[in-house]
């Protein structure tokens, strides 16, 4: 899905008041996968370390298995890896997004025709 599609379809997995998974957490998982570090992932997404840590904590508390495994301390500071459970959750989440978008892509373009023509130019 391109960025515009992700602006149209936002999937959240709600649990009580929390969202154990959603667009921000999925992006964070991908960034951790790429950087091997919560702090580097946070910087790349313009999140504070504290915010990124809270998102990871919410995921790890709600899923059966932790999605992110973090090691603290050591000479190089802590590292973090996305677990096998994390990769699977991310895969299933992206699939939900993809299927929802596939189901409405055509109708979304039809909906856009209700907007003013000058607005249509930048789509």
The binding site for a copy of itself (CB under 8 A) comprises 4, 7-16, 20-21, 62-64, 85, 88-89, 92-93, 95-96, 99-104, 107-108, 110-112, 114-117, 119, 122-123
Residue 9 CB, nearest approach to a copy of itself (Å)? 6
Q: Closest CB to a copy of itself among 5 and 45?
A: 5
How far is the C-alpha of 69 from the C-alpha of 87, rounded, in Å? 12
- What is the CB neighbour count within 10 angstroms for residue 92? 11
* Radius of gyration over every alpha carbon of the chain, rounded to an integer in angstroms: 17
Residue 74 CB, nearest approach to a copy of itself (Å)? 30
How far is the C-alpha of 99 from the C-alpha of 104, rounded, in Å? 9
How far is the C-alpha of 84 from the C-alpha of 81, rounded, in Å? 9
Q: Closest CB to a copy of itself among 47 and 93?
A: 93
Q: Closest CB to a copy of itself among 49 and 103?
A: 103
Tell me the CA end-to-end span of the chain in Å, nearest whole number. 15
Q: Closest CB to a copy of itself among 14 and 78?
A: 14
């Amino acid at each position: 899905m391109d960025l515009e599609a992700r602006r149209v379809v936002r999937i959240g997995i709600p649990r009580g008041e929390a969202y154990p998974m959603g667009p921000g957490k999925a992006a964070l998982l991908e960034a951790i996968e790429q950087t091997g570090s919560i702090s580097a992932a946070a910087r790349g997404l313009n999140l504070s370390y504290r915010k990124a840590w809270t998102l990871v904590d919410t995921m790890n508390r709600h899923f059966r298995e932790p999605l992110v495994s973090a090691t603290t301390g050591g000479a190089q500071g802590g590292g973090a890896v996305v677990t096998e459970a994390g990769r699977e959750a991310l895969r299933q989440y992206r699939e939900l997004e993809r299927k929802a978008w596939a189901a409405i892509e055509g109708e979304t373009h039809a909906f856009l025709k209700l907007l003013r023509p000058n607005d249509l130019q930048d789509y």
